[in-house]
Chain A
């Protein structure tokens, strides 16, 4: 039986005293996804802060772990993984017989989990990221907000969420009637949309998306991430 201890999850840390930035750093979205998955599996882990403002993620020592200079990174002994979706897939598989089943049971279910995780990665992530970065982080950093990009991102995301609305009218969760990695990977950005950048309507105005959000955001594993 392998040692189930996970050494460290390196997450970025803004370092400002202001409350909303500290809140942001504690659940920096891709780290939150990794942390939430470990919580769902009941695995303990340690957060190792990486100071983004000091550029620690570009230090030679960090670049040995993650050569693209971004977080999160997971270290388990001398085994290192990065890219949040690779991390969550690895732990969901490694601990598949423990905690919440996040991958689905049959080949078909697994295929659907992968499909909706890719939908998140390819369709949802980019416009959600552009909205959050422009509306939440740039004002704090004194970087001018790109209003055209915000408008375009909002429209793109609305179209994506229309597809989700249709899907979730037929299926309790994205991959089927079971919570999975596909739903989990939406938690951090949905959280920002609803609670931090005044775009709650995108979620709340869509009946099935809203019900889905209420369900997944009340999971204990997610609430534990918010307490970090």
Chain B
């Protein structure tokens, strides 16, 4: 099999790449990495990703890490197959996809990831969530989503009236958020809520959600 994805389906970052692979209708093999025994910190894995984190995409004899970079690679390599995630025929649309990919990376992710870390990851390690960190993060996320609400009032999806990598990259963390009481931060914003309903009902992303089995 040409494409091998090293990771686990319940991981947010692995799920980000699964989303792209499913949207493109690509054949690939998911190779599990045993996080609980520290497989990702062993020399064999570090040779693939020296930062010792999942996922890694192996394409024949090359490999790539950083889920957003992997998605960019997949979206470009298979640009004529499946969903057009990067608007490669229109450089200005592509530019706007790039903007909202960065907004997710630099503004949305720092606000949402502490919530998911505290509520999902810490319990996996037998640790107690720090709810004051969660509350502070929810407040920060609310302000970010106010900007999204205004944007999505004039645009069906983030980069324009087309689904793109920008929307896809938001899926995994938001999916886990929506299973917590803090889903209200999305549900109380009508355009953000509608956007979430549109993207999460996509068959490819429903398939990703099936593997995201962690619960709070």
Contacts and interface: CB of A to CB of B under 8 A. Distances in A.
A58 interface: no
Nearest to A121: B105
Contact-residue bracket for chain B: 20 to 34
A117 interface: yes
Most buried by B among A111, A112, A114: A111
A16 interface: no
A3 B50 CA distance: 43
Contacts of B70: 115
Contact of B147 (A67, A110, A166): A67
A185 B12 CA distance: 26
Interface in B136-164: 144, 147, 150-151
A39 to B, nearest CB: 19
Interface stretch (A40-48, A75-83, A193-201): A75-83
Contact-residue bracket for chain A: 20 to 34
Given A81-B99, A90-B94, A115 B107 contact: no
A115 B64 contact: yes
B26 to A, nearest CB: 15
B35 interface: no
A147 interface: no
Contacts, number: 81
Interface in B67-103: 68-70, 72-73, 76-77, 91-92, 94-96, 98-99, 101-103
B51 interface: yes
Interface in A83-131: 83-86, 89-90, 93-94, 107-108, 110-112, 114-115, 117-119, 121-123
Interface in A139-171: 163, 166-167
Given A118-B66, A123-B51, A90 B91 contact: yes
A68 interface: yes
Nearest to A74: B95
B72 A114 contact: yes
Given A67-B150, A118-B68, A90 B103 contact: no
B34 interface: no
A153 B50 CA distance: 19
A115 B98 CA distance: 15
Interface of A: 67-68, 79, 81-86, 89-90, 93-94, 107-108, 110-112, 114-115, 117-119, 121-123, 163, 166-167
